[in-house]
Structure 1
Amino acid sequence: MRRALFHSLILVVLLVCQGQCDVVINEVLANEPDGETLLEWFELYNSSGTANLSYYELRVVSGSQDTTFIINASLNEGNYFVIARDSVRFEEHYGDSSGTWNDVPSENYGLRQAGIRLTNTGGSVSIRHIMTGVTSELVWSSSGGDGISWERVEPESDLVGQSTDPSGSTPGRINSGTKLPIDLALEAVEPSLVDPFTRITFRIVNVGTTDISDATLDLYYLDLAEPDSLGFQIGSDPVGAVDTGNTILLMGQYELSGALDSLVAVVALANDDRPADNRMVFTAPGPGFPPIVISEFLANPSGALDAEWVELKNISGEAINLEGWQIGDSEALGTIVSVPLMFQPAAYLVLTDSLIAFEDFYVDFDGVLIEPPTWPTLNNTGDVVRLVDPFGLEIDRFSYDSGFDDNHTWGRGESEDRQDDWGRSEEPGGSPGESNTVRFSDDVEGRLEITIEPRIFSPDGDGLEDATVIKIKSPGSGGKVLKLYDSRGRLVRTFEDGAQDLSEQYVWNGTSDTGARLPIGIYILYFEVAGMDSAKRTIVIAR
């Protein structure tokens, strides 16, 4: 009897592990998307054998929590298993939201709920075989990106980093850092407006282990009714040969239909082992860009007025949904609204840091007024006001060196010949929700003039249009600022910063302040006379 029992026990152990089972903590999502704590989870992966997870002890150490537990489930070789804080919410977010797990092919991995609490700023999750003592642990010590997981580069590796998957994590899938044989990734898209065309640069990287030569780059309009599908195809171009580890840049020029179009770029490659990184949704500027402008703002409220505010104007002919749009300064951005909000054509909309303080001062205001959840405090001594769409494209910006006294605002010109120029409001308090009345200069003898020739140039060393010449005629004697920004709002070149006198001309050869050659694209030249005029002009580097 004892002999039979012994053989039975050996049989059970062999069925459980079939030799050495390598179960690891493969991925952890502690910094859940949008602060939704119910979406915290961690993932197990088994690289060999068939593991009975009841023989493994799981431990979560995070914040004040130190929890140990066991789950009853099996995990086959090459499979994944997710332990979620809330399995119902996990299925809604990562599954098909049917209320049932494993009812569609994409839900082909294990899922179990446990009372875990994962702190963003640091913690550890470990798994230990209760018989062999073999342990796997994943440790994180910072928050990382919102909704972005910590993952092993390879299941057998101790290297841990942030997921680079477009969705932020890969539950039930191969980690984003794991090399696969065929993996051509669309890494970045850079759109710019070269009126009347839209120029888009695509950065494509072969992150796999196989050289590739048969891919195409396809561009579509986004079908807003079905975002996961593809709309009308705009173009298709061969990618060409891309050896493993190499990066190529493709540039296309397109004639789009609207001022701001939602597009989908797809690297089409048969048998790609990681299709998730082949697709990117983005917005691109077209004719009539920008559709919305920053029209007026108050950065230095005083006296009875205790509210900063920024006014937007829809200058397009269409209603625009502001859900997910952001307003910000030089350091931070904050979401305007997180629910659908249609901004009507030719309408104004005012954003403020305090509804109560604004309405106490502007008692007759009857327009659209919004207090965003977070507000980028505008510095009195100079700052940047930025408007960014949900895809990260900067729609408009204005830089200023100082705010005005006595509640005078910075305002944009409304007439056709001055709609790119800024000045001081005629009246204290400005004109929120109404057409601006702006004083551009107290020097009646002169008007600001900026000439750029050529506006589109190609600094490629061929001796033809390798530089552009900037000339400025400016009224007033205040400090003058002349700076250049890229299409993402980053400062790349400073020509003047507070100078009293301007040079006769400025020759720009397409390099940054450090002398680095800047990439092709659209650049914004910003000029300001302190307390008076300001203006923006575009310059394009082509090849």
Structure 2
Amino acid sequence: VSDIAADQIYSGGLSNTAEHLILKDSSGNIIDEVDCSSGWFISLNRGESMERMNPAGDGSDSSNWAKNNGVERNGLDANGTPINGTPKAQNSVFIGSGGGDTGVVTSSITLTLSTKIFYPMGDVLGKPSTVQILWNVPTGTVLNLKVFNLKGSSVRILVKNKDINTSQDGSSGVLWDGKDNSGNTLPPGIYIVYLEVLNTDTGKRDVVKKCIVIGRKL
């Protein structure tokens, strides 16, 4: 990374297939650990970064990792090209601890999901087959709402460049049926609902993310 100074330089090399990483303090106490001894959790292309979703979560839990979403990036490579990573900045797939709550608030922006898990195939009696995604954002903003998989790929664009001109627009939402942009039902797994709000006056951009699980009857 050409434009961001490193806090520490690691002189060794990392395997392209698997590693078991342990971070210790000066007294030898383990601070953090990522056990990928059976293989890296995420398959990456050259120039992509594997990012931790919840810093407080288990570093050796494969479901707590995803690749950079390609939208939020920080830093340039030796050729001055933006890297697909976020050194010294919040990870692009950051979701926080969540505390089990389906609502997330960032400044004056609220993102709420009607359920934590839903079953688009409708194969589980009494369980929801859709999820209602609600937002509360200020007027004078532009809203985008997408869904990403854990590989960092955008799988569904739910709202694109929506102008929020009235309070009614600012307190609204959409219903997601668990399908991708091609109309295919997505496979079971964890997905990230990604809300981006741009203030047209100040240029400030706020992002709120929340996990949702697509389930299927075993």
Name the residue aligned to 1:261: 35
Residue 40 (structure 2) aligned to one of 270, 282, 286: 282
Verify the 8 A CA contact 2:20 2:37 in the aligned structure 1: no
Name the residue aligned to 1:377: 82
Report the residue type matching 1:377 in the other structure. P
Name the residue aligned to 2:174: 506
**How many residues were matched structurally?**
156
TM-superposed deviation, 1:224: 3.8
C-alpha distance in structure 1 between counterparts of 2:144 and 2:210, whole Å: 14
Verify the 8 A CA contact 1:259 1:316 in the aligned structure 2: no
TM-superposed deviation, 1:292: 7.5
Give the unaligned 5+ runs of structure 2.
1-15, 22-31, 43-50, 60-66, 199-203
TM-superposed deviation, 1:515: 0.5
SS at match of 1:283: coil
C-alpha distance in structure 2 between counterparts of 1:375 and 1:292, whole Å: 27
Correspondence 1:397 to 2:106: no
Correspondence 1:541 to 2:214: yes
TM-superposed deviation, 1:532: 4.2
Q: 1:539 to 1:328 in 2, by over 3 A?
A: closer
Name the residue aligned to 1:465: 128
Residue 140 (structure 2) aligned to one of 477, 494, 518: 477
Verify the 8 A CA contact 2:69 2:153 in the aligned structure 1: no
C-alpha distance in structure 2 between counterparts of 1:534 and 1:283, whole Å: 25
SS at match of 1:479: strand
C-alpha distance in structure 1 between counterparts of 2:33 and 2:120, whole Å: 28
Q: TM-score, normalised by structure 2?
A: 0.54
Name the residue aligned to 2:70: 330
Correspondence 1:449 to 2:110: yes
Question: How does 1:66-465 map onto structure 2 within 5 Å?
Answer: 224=20, 260-264=34-38, 281-283=39-41, 291=52, 315=55, 330=70, 352-353=75-76, 372-373=77-78, 375-377=80-82, 386=85, 396-397=91-92, 440=107, 447-462=108-123, 463=125, 464-465=127-128
TM-superposed deviation, 1:291: 4.8
Deviations 1:355-409 (A, max 9, x none): xxxxxxxxxxxxxxxxx5455338xxxxxx6459xxxxxx9426xxxxxxxxxxx
**Which one has a larger percent helix, Structure 1 or Structure 2?**
1
Q: TM-score, normalised by structure 1?
A: 0.24
Deviations 1:432-487 (A, max 9, x none): xxxxxxxx4xxxxxx21111121111222235321111111112321111111111
Report the residue type matching 1:470 in the other structure. I
Verify the 8 A CA contact 2:117 2:215 in the aligned structure 1: yes
Name the residue aligned to 1:178: none
Q: 1:459 to 1:352 in 2, by over 3 A?
A: closer
Report the residue type matching 2:81 in the other structure. P
Give the unaligned 5+ runs of structure 1.
1-165, 168-221, 226-257, 265-280, 285-289, 294-314, 320-326, 334-350, 354-371, 379-384, 389-394, 399-411, 423-439, 441-446
Residue 185 (structure 2) aligned to one of 509, 517, 539: 517
Residue 160 (structure 2) aligned to one of 477, 494, 497: 497
C-alpha distance in structure 1 between counterparts of 2:58 and 2:112, whole Å: 32
Verify the 8 A CA contact 1:528 1:534 in the aligned structure 2: yes
Name the residue aligned to 1:201: none
C-alpha distance in structure 2 between counterparts of 1:291 and 1:453, whole Å: 25
TM-superposed deviation, 1:489: 1.1
C-alpha distance in structure 1 between counterparts of 2:140 and 2:181, whole Å: 26
Higher relative contact order (CA 8 A, sep 6+): 2
Verify the 8 A CA contact 2:69 2:92 in the aligned structure 1: no
Query: Alignment RMSD, CA only?
Result: 4.4
C-alpha distance in structure 2 between counterparts of 1:490 and 1:457, whole Å: 20
SS at match of 1:513: coil
Q: 1:467 to 1:328 in 2, by over 3 A?
A: closer
